[in-house]
Structure formats: C-alpha cells, structure tokens
Structure 1
C-alpha cells in the first residue's frame, strides 16, 4: 500500500505543482481524477473532496469567474471579497455540495447576504438572496435532496429542492416550525475561518 500512496503523492505533485493558474474546469477534473484514485485504493486518500486547500482554490476560482466583471470594475471592496464555506452531501450521492456564504456591502444588506450552493465541481446549483447566517440541514428530504433551513425575512424558512435547484429567495417560503438546535449547522459565521478571493 505504501507504493500506492507514493504514486498518489507523485500524481498530486504533477497535477498541481507545475500550474501557474487553472480554470474551474481544470481544477474540477483534477478533483475528479484524485477521487478516482482514492476510490480505487480502498483507503482514504488525502487528496479527495476532503482536501480543504483544494476546495478553497476551487471556490476562489469559481467566485473569481462568476464576479469577473464586477472585480474588473472595482465594485467589490475587501470585505465583499471574503467568504466562508461548509460542505455537506445534500442528495446522498457521495459527493459533498459546497455552501458558500458571501459578505460585505456588495453581497449583504439589511435583509441578509448572498449564499451560493455549488456542486463538488464548482458549478452553481442555487444563488440564494437575503439569507442570514447560519443555515441548517433538515433531516427531511424533498425530491431526493435534504431540506435547508435558512433565516430570511425575520424567520427560519424551509427551503425545499425543486428538481434542479432550490428556490433563490427563502424569505417567501414557509416558516420552519421545528427546533434548529438538533440540526447540522452550516456557515457558522462566528467560528469558521474566512477566506478571500
């Protein structure tokens, strides 16, 4: 098994060591290649969806691509270029979706902030508006995806998957009547580290 681990390490260094910059698609395919290596070794490889440095790079590249024009025009100040993220498998397919919380005056107002839900490859599933942190994952599912509980419009709201995406404005959705204390918390703004892009 040590030879397999050495080959994985060498493969990682070859994939990431010689690049000056990568597109989201390149990083995504590199993550997929590493996941295949991990699956075939039957051991948990350190270069998987759990490689947080790799995930941060993917998020940074995704955000830079999404907001490219606004960055070029100087609309995003330093506060608006910060994010926090949480990973969770919402549809139980073995891949961790990424919930990205944005901040600063460009993304936040009195009603809340913009939150992005990304696939494990960095593709946008939903762009939520007017959400206050934290968010929660409910034990209930809709259309094969876990319901999200998001604070919006002065209440915790039940956000249900609609088949291809979640509704983008939680403030218009039904109030969550349960207790969030027993639910998995995402985007803990007080205790999670913030990163920049």
Structure 2
C-alpha cells in the first residue's frame, strides 16, 4: 500500500512538472482522485486477493482466542503478526505459518509462533525459533519436515503424532548447510512480509 502511494505521488509530481495547465491534465486529476481515495480508505483494493484477505481474518480470529489472556497486557505495538501460506501436506489447502517479531514474543533464543490449518485450527505452537523456517523436500506422517534455527543452530523437525515438536532446540541438530532445495517461509527480514494487527 505504501509503495502504491509513493508511486502515485511520483506520477503526480512528474505530471505537474510536464504540464502547467492543470485543467487539461487528465493524468493529474486521476492520480489526485486515486490518491485521495487511497488515503481516505475508499480506494479499490481489488489487487489484494480474496484468498489473502480470508487468510488474514482466519489468523486474526484465531490469535484473539489463543492469546486471550495475553491481550490485556500487550501494547498496541506488540499486537501484530506476519504470516506465510504453504501447503505442508499436499492436500491442495495452504497451512499458515504465523510469526511474531517483537519483545513480547521474542527473547534471546528466538521468537514464538504458530502453524495453523487452513480453517485456523492449531497444528502447532513453537518457541525459541529464528526466522525463516525452512520446509524440506522430505516428509514424515504426510507432512514435510522442517529445519528451524535457534540460538545459531539448525534443528531437524519431523511431524510426531500429528504435531511438530514445539521446542526445536531439543530436536536433532542438522549437520551441514541448509539444502538449496528447501523453501524458506516466514523470512520476515528478507522478504519484507506484510505486518498485520490483531
């Protein structure tokens, strides 16, 4: 959204420099109208997919339930999340990796987060994890195995009894480099993921 506003302002500046006659400058009028609607919240945001909107609402509602006891003590700045969708079990429905990156959810060992089913139900809570999480090409129990970093070490995480272990530090240490065929998810710093409030 911020990028769109910057682009629109850039177009407005360029168009006003090229044509001094404001009454004949259609581009300027369109840009001004779009900019005012964007800032006023009435712009058409049809490029934001319905699927993404649905995912954000599912996650937001689930966090309200999961963190009900925490909400009263959290500051507004701490009430945001990042998410990324990935089909972990090849059922044609995305699961949601949900992560946090603030002092309420993060400590010296890493941050906490969740893996949610497509309907919002919890597959996993995880703690002391550094992002991103890596999805491997191997699987256990129909779910892809994961590589999670914590405290500078990488751990190999396998599904056990329908859940991934919540504390990666007690799992098997990964030897060697992270394979190139893994898929990073929740790369909060590298991908500049959208931040959502809850």
| TM-score, normalised via structure 2 length | 0.70
Structure 2 match to 1:195: 196
Secondary structure in structure 1 of the residue aligned to 2:69: helix
Q: Counterparts of 1:75 and 1:103 in 2: how far apart (Å)?
A: 17
1:91: Cα distance to partner?
1.1
Q: Runs of 5+ in structure 1 lacking a partner?
A: 1-45
Where does 1:95-106 land on structure 2 (aligned, <5 Å)? 95-106=93-104
Map 1:51-90 → 2, pairs under 5 A: 51-71=51-71, 74-90=72-88
Secondary structure at the aligned position of 1:63 is classed as: helix
Whose Rg is larger? 2
2:89 is matched with 91
Match of 1:149 in 2: 147
CA distance in 1, matches of 2:155, 2:100: 19
Could you list the structure 1 runs, at least 4 aligned residues long, displaced by more than 3 angstroms after superposition.
Answer: none
RMSD across aligned C-alpha pairs, in angstroms? 1.5
Structure 2 counterparts to residues 1-197 of structure 1, below 5 A: 47=50, 51-71=51-71, 74-177=72-175, 178-190=177-189, 191-197=192-198
Aligned equivalents of 1:132, 1:180: Cα separation in 2: 17
Q: What is the Cα deviation at residue 194 of structure 1? A: 1.1
Q: Deviations over 1:98-155 (max 9, x none)?
A: 0100222221101011110000000011100000111110011111110011111321
Partners of 1:75 and 1:113 in 2: CA distance: 18
Contact 1:135/1:148, CA 8 A, preserved across alignment:
yes
Q: Deviations over 1:146-193 (max 9, x none)?
A: 001111132111110002100000011112234244311100112211
For each residue in 1:38-62, what CA deviation from the matched residue of structure 2 results, as whole angstroms up to 9, or x when unmatched?
Answer: xxxxxxxx75xxx101111111111
Give the whole-Å Cα distance in 1 for the aligned partners of 2:194 and 2:185. Answer: 13
Conserved in 2, the CA contact under 8 Å of 1:75 and 1:106?
A: no
Q: Give the paired residue count.
A: 147
